[in-house]
Structure 1
Amino acid sequence: MPNEALHLGPASQLRYELVREGEARMHMRLPEDVESYLVFVLHRHQGDAQLGGRTMALECLHGLECVGTARCDALRDVGDRCLLIAGLFPALARRRNVGPDYYASLGQAAYPEVAVLARAGQASLFVQLAHGFVAMRHVLAGVAAQVRTCGSPSSRAALLESGPSAGH
């Protein structure tokens, strides 16, 4: 796909194209449900200016103390945010004196907990996300590399809106 295509269309199409570019760069293809969820994560956490200042272990502990829907939502957020840090912003992890693998482990452990609490239709998705966490992380690393090396200014802006620019 030519780089010019990255900046065409609505923001959701841009995120989808970025994920596809990341898959191509990393020579992998995510299952459709996982790919769609990854696009959703990019959309949902777009502009999360607090991402770099969050202490994910404490957020995970807080989530484990919650019950019901609050627990499910909190742990889903932990998984999603850890995925973004491990895949898109690994330098953020290193600045905090932990490696991206720390965030990957924490995030990957959160999704099965969500699966236990989620509605039947969503439970299988979160099991799939836990199993596909490493692949999603690699795709996000491909997205970051693609944008850094040959992305247009608008594609860079879209990626940077999804989290801290210092993470690159």
Structure 2
Amino acid sequence: MSRLILEPTPQAQWQALVHEAQTACDRSLDESLESYLVFLLMRFADRPDCTARIMAEDYLKSQALQGEQRAGQLREVGDHCLLFSGLFPQLAERRLVPVSYFVNIGRASYQQLSAGLDRGWSRMYNHLYEAFVVLMDILHAMRGLGGETILTPFQAMDLWQDTGSRRCYEQMCADGRVSPVPAATEKH
């Protein structure tokens, strides 16, 4: 990170970090997405055990549930997949799956939530579904604030091809090893 972030509350610290990451990757979130991301980071900051979960299994289990249990399980799956794809993409390599595996399961979870909830929450989860790749890019930027690249060139290329991630495209161009043809828009 470029500087030590000292804020009076954990929420303010996470918010400052999210702002710095948005600036670093030249992306901006609206207030609802930014708030969701900040509270998601706060909620999982004290749960290092969350990386042991198997997302496909949790997603399949959610399909057998009803009502609030199903919604809660789908939200957990979507949130975990967002964190895994954005902050811990190395989990995909260890599990022998592409990072887009987490993107696809996370987006599907948010999309199902959007279809099954009342109008207010439906809009929020649809917004998360649509902005999943942008949120992932911001989380990648957050991890990269210290100067390290969190994706290998091959992971960046795969993720760019699968999702249209602008951050992955920029990483590939910055590496100088690849000159990809820019995608018209993000796929997700």
TM-score, normalization by structure 2: 0.74
- Greater helix content: 1
Give aligned-pair identity as a percent: 31
Structure with the greater alpha carbon radius of gyration: 2
2:147 is aligned to 149
State the AA in 2 paired with 1:26: C
Unaligned runs of 5+ in 1: 151-168
Q: Which residue of 2 aligns with 1:17?
A: 16
Kindly state the Cα deviation for residue 8 of structure 1 after the two structures are TM-superposed: 2.4
Hey, what's the Cα distance between the residues in 1 that align with 2:115 and 2:72?
12
1:41-85: CA deviations, max 9, x gaps?
A: 111222222222110000001111100011001001100000000
1:39-78 equivalences under 5 Å are 39-78=38-77
Give SS of 1:7's match.
coil
RMSD over equivalenced CA pairs, Å: 1.4
For residues 88-119 of structure 1, what are the alpha-carbon distances to aligned partners after superposition, in whole Å with 9 as ceiling and x for unaligned?
01111111111211101110111011112223
* CA distance in 2 between partners of 1:63 and 1:94 (Å): 25
Cα distance, 1:21 vs structure 2? 1.1
The residue identity in structure 2 corresponding to 1:97 is L
In structure 2, what is the equivalent of residue 96 of structure 1? 95
Distance 2:62 2:34 in 1: 25
Unaligned runs of 5+ in 2: 149-188
Q: Which residue of 2 aligns with 1:3?
A: 3
Partner amino acid, structure 1, of 2:116: L
Secondary structure in 1 matching 2:69: helix
**Paired residues for 1:120-159 under 5 Å:** 120-146=119-145, 148-149=146-147
**Cα distance in structure 1, aligned partners of 2:11 and 2:117:** 25
Paired residue for 2:116?
Answer: 117
Amino acid at match of 1:20: H
Q: Of the two structures, which has the highest relative contact order with CA contacts closer than 8 Å and spacing of 6 or more?
A: 1
